[in-house]
Amino acid sequence: MTTIPAAANIGVALAARNRHEMVGAAIQLVVNVISLIVAGSLTLEIRHRLRRSSTSGVRRRPGVG
C-alpha cells in the first residue's frame, strides 16, 4: 500500500479542475493513511505481547534489554 499515487492523483485532478476525481483520490489517500496507521499499531501491539510473553518469569537487570 502506498500514498504517493493517491497524492499525485489529487494534484493532477486539481490541475485539471476535475473535482470528482480529486475527491475520489483524497478519499483513497485517507483510507491508505488510516490503513497504514492501523497496520502499524497492530504490528507493534502483537510484537509487544509476544515479547512480554516470551520474557514472563525472566528477571532482567535494570537498564539491560
SS (H, E, C) the chain: CCCHHHHHHHHHHHHHCCHHHHHHHHHHHHHHHHHHHHHHHHHHHHHHHHHHHHCCCCCCCCCCC
Residue 59 covered by a domain: no
Residue 28 covered by a domain: yes
Provide the pLDDT for residue 64: 62
Provide the pLDDT for residue 53: 86
Q: pLDDT tens, 22-60?
A: 999 999 999 999 999 999 999 999 999 999 888 776 666
Mean pLDDT computed over 4-20: 96
Q: How many domains does the chain have?
A: 1
Instruction: Supply the range of the domain harboring residue 42.
Output: 4-53
